[in-house]
Amino acid sequence: MVRYKCVVIEDEPLAAEILTDYISQIPFLELKQVYSDALTALEFLKSEKADVLFIDIHLPRLNGLDFIKTLSNPPQIILTTAYREYALEGYEHNVVDYLLKPISFSRFLTAVNKLKNNLPVSDIIFSDNKGGTDEKQHIYINVNKRRIKIDLDEILFIESKREYISIVTREKTFLTKFQLSEIEKHLDKGSFIRVHRSFIVAKSKITAFTSADVDIKGMLIPIGRSYKELVLSVLGESI
């Protein structure tokens, strides 16, 4: 089942608690973060992927509608507010739904069912095989509306390119829309290591390394300052 990553931006603690509870009851929703103001949430959205944004209109520092206007590639949005008069303006921003407080669970369910129908399928599908069969661990990535299978043991390294990642194998390079931090969660830490905020590398493909970089088939991948101690300790143990 595809689970859609949710962020709640709500400055009323009780309203935030209700939304958190409702989200926890829906199998296809996954709560990532709750924020009390939009500017703090913006830092998260710059580096992490969110599929659904539940946002109040009246927020400190920057109201919800103005915040939506700043997003170049916004997720699906459900507005939450106690005021009816903003409904028309909200729909001008192509929001999925407009929930009036107090929000009942049945009304919440109606709204998120619209999300389920509208949201795209993830650009990467991960295999469930954990070694129980002879089939290799693999992923399917979405490239030009085609699903392409990549065996994980073919991957040399993965590079972040803003909203996309570049997956480099022995023979080809694939570009797909995904976050590096998200794919990192699904990779075996015994086989892959993040060496830089923009790079994850396959340990077995490293042919040499220094304190500044790792060498993979003649390609030098930088080691980030904040990753250096961990990377060198892991690689040192693997020699």
Dihedral of alpha carbons 117, 122, 127, 130, sign: negative
117 pLDDT above the threshold of 80: no
Confidence of residue 4 (pLDDT cuts 50, 70, 90): confident
- Reported as a single tens digit per residue, the pLDDT across 161-216 is 877 899 999 889 998 888 888 888 888 888 999 999 999 999 999 999 999 999 99
DSSP code at position 92:
H
What residues have CB less than 8 Å from 233, skipping those under 6 apart? none
Helix count and strand count (H, E) for the chain:
7, 16
Burial code of 3-35, b = ≥16 C-beta within 10 A, e = fewer?
ebbbbbbbebeebbebbeebbeebeebebbebb
Mean pLDDT of all residues in 131-140: 67
* pTM exceeding 0.85: no
Tell me which long-range contacts 84-91 makes (C-beta under 8 A, separation of at least 24). 86/57, 89/65, 90/57, 90/65
**Which has the closest alpha carbon to 168: 214, 205, 137, 196?**
205
Residues 124-238: name the CATH superfamily: LytTr DNA-binding domain (2.40.50.1020)
Q: In terms of residues, how long is the chain?
A: 239
Beta-carbon count within 10 A of 101 CB: 14
d(CA 78, CA 92): 13
CATH of region 4-118, choose from 3.40.50.2300, 3.30.200.20, 3.30.420.40, 3.30.70.2860: 3.40.50.2300
**Ranges for all domains in the chain classified under CATH 3.40.50.2300:** 4-118
Task: For residue 213, give the nearest of 197, 232, 191 by alpha carbon.
Answer: 232
pLDDT at 204: 94
Domain with CATH 2.40.50.1020 in the chain: 124-238
Say what the pLDDT of residue 45 is: 86
Q: Supply φ then ψ for residue 155, to 5 degrees.
A: -75, 130
For residue 64, give both structure tokens.
């919800």
Cβ-proximal residues to 180 (8 Å cutoff; 6+ apart), any chain: 158, 159, 160, 165, 194, 197, 198, 200
Asked if residue 134 lies in contact with residue 128, where contact means CB atoms within 8 angstroms, the answer is no
pLDDT of residue 239 exceeding 80: no
Q: What percent of the chain has pLDDT over 70?
A: 85
Do residues 231 and 206 make contact, with C-beta atoms less than 8 angstroms apart? Answer: no
